[in-house]
Amino acid sequence: MNHFTYRGNELFAEEVPVREIAGEVGTPLYIYSHATLTRHYNVFDGALSDIDHLVCYSVKANSNIAVLRTLAKLGSGFDIVSGGELYRVLLAGGDPHKVVFSGVGKSDDEIEFALENDILMFNVESEEELEVIDQIAGKLGKKAPVSFRINPDVDPKTHPYISTGLSKNKFGIPSDYALEIYEKALKLKNIEVVGIDAHIGSQLTQVSPFIEAMEKLLRLIEKIEKLGVSIKYFDIGGGLGIRYRDENPPHPEEYASEIKKLLGDRKIKMIFEPGRVIVGNAGIFVTKVLYTKKTPLKNFIIVDGAMNDLIRPALYGAHHEISPVVLDQKRGKIIADIVGPICESDDFFAREREIEKVGRGDFLAIFSAGAYGFSMASNYNSRPRVAEVMVKGSEYAIIRQRETYPELVWNEKIPSFLR
């Protein structure tokens, strides 16, 4: 459920007509609904209420500091993959003691920054990384809390680019090697082993791969605890899917109840790293029709947004629902490609899509764009990054200004030898 709904012919974001925001702020832009964000967080967190748990929202899905602040106020922790994400979390008032640091390639500076801020734990992905964390913690006079990300070799049955839990993927430590690395960690002076972790992929539409991965990790936990370590945290990552078109992903209640069944009365704190399920349907992307054009083969609707603003269709062939912000059934429908201005043929939002016959100046809403939309945006083709707006009831605020041309080049420089 989300708060982007049509009232009559007009699309509203909560209590505000989308047309009004687009008119005032300009296009392209992202609009997020505070009520939807809050609802999704509470539904997810609430479903887990019988389990000792911590939700660590995955910052990469949408890292705007107003989004992070909304979630921090609800009590969320954060899953980060870079120093930049930690910086954002701190700025937004997030609690560093509720931060887990994931990722295969943490740099020395990032490790230091995280240690200085006393994060909850590092999800370590290789032996070399473990050694580096030990050294840096030693230098800072700290003990680094670590868990190991295990690659359980489970097929998440999702797009190959966002599958991470198969042995062929670069992620995690192979299960067969897990005991060895825990043993090694126990010998390191500046390391405190606190947990175990897995993240098998994103946009999962079934519960079974999560359960399969958890079963494997629970078996491992038994073996690891025989080494004399107690595993405090069991982090199962993120990955729960959402509906973009006709997918039927499990409701958080179903996901939680399967997990509950599996855990029984085991005493362990579960950590979850949801991204998309919290923010995906809490955002839309709004773009304006610049031109329409008909060729012997196709109809094209050329809009002011492009793949640099929302790359999911181009990168994964992802489907996003698209409709006019103001409907007018009288104008009839066409089949068209909805494309952006960028000089690449994969700069499209939809291909062969049935849509009302819109024209120059009409606004289109691209739905389910709250996750991996703005956070994956770039300046390709020297396009300023778009504005972001948050709506709360009948109020709205710009939470990121549209970039200006000077901002595009503010940190570039012509060296003296070219003067």
Which of 188, 242 has the CB closer to ligand LLP?
242
- d(CA 406, CA 419) in angstroms, rounded, equals 20
Cα angle 389, 390, 392; round to 5: 145
Per CB under 6 A, 37 contacts ligand LLP = no
343 is catalytic: yes
Nearer to ligand LLP, 302 or 386 (CB): 386
Contacts of 193 (CB under 8 A, 6+ apart): 146, 147, 182, 185, 186, 229, 231
Which of 209, 237, 249, 340 is the binder for ligand LLP (CB under 6 A)? 237
Q: Is 232 in the site for ligand LLP (CB under 6 A)?
A: no
Positions in 385-404 near ligand LLP (CB under 6 A):
none
* CB of 124 vs ligand LLP, minimal distance in Å: 12
Amino acid type, 350 = A
Q: Are 166 and 140 in contact (CB under 8 A)?
A: no
Interacting stretch for ligand LLP, rule CB under 6 A, among 82-90, 216-224, 273-281, 328-336? 273-281
* Residue of 181, 220, 179, 183 whose CA lies nearest to 198: 220
Closest CA to 149 of 119, 177, 118, 112: 177
Instruction: Tell me how far, at minimum, the Cβ of 380 lies from ligand LLP, in Å.
Output: 16
- In the numeric block, the tokens 């729960």 are attached to 240
Question: CB of 17: closest distance to ligand LLP in angstroms?
Answer: 28
**Dihedral sign, CA of 374, 381, 87, 201?**
positive
**Of the candidates 28, 249, 252, 275, which one interacts with ligand LLP according to CB under 6 A?**
275
Catalytic residue of the set 297, 343, 414, 418: 343
The helix-helix angle for 108-116 and 83-91 (nearest 10°) equals: 30
Considering only 199-207, 243-251, 253-261, 393-401, which stretch makes contact with ligand LLP by CB under 6 A?
199-207
What is the phi/psi pair of residue 149, to 5°?
A: -85, 115
Binding piece for ligand LLP, criterion CB under 6 A, among 91-99, 234-242, 347-355, 386-394: 234-242
Residues 311-330, one symbol each (x = binds ligand LLP by CB under 6 A, - = not), give -x---x--------------
Q: Does 162 bind ligand LLP (CB under 6 A)?
A: yes
* 69 touches ligand LLP by CB under 6 A: no
18 binds ligand LLP (CB under 6 A): no
Region of 93 (left: φ > 0; alpha: ψ -120 to 50; beta: rest) is left
Strands 144-151 and 333-339: unpaired
Known catalytic residues are 343
Q: In the complex, which residues of this chain contact ligand LLP (CB under 6 A)?
A: 58, 61, 79, 102, 162, 199, 202-203, 237-240, 273-277, 312, 316, 371-372, 376
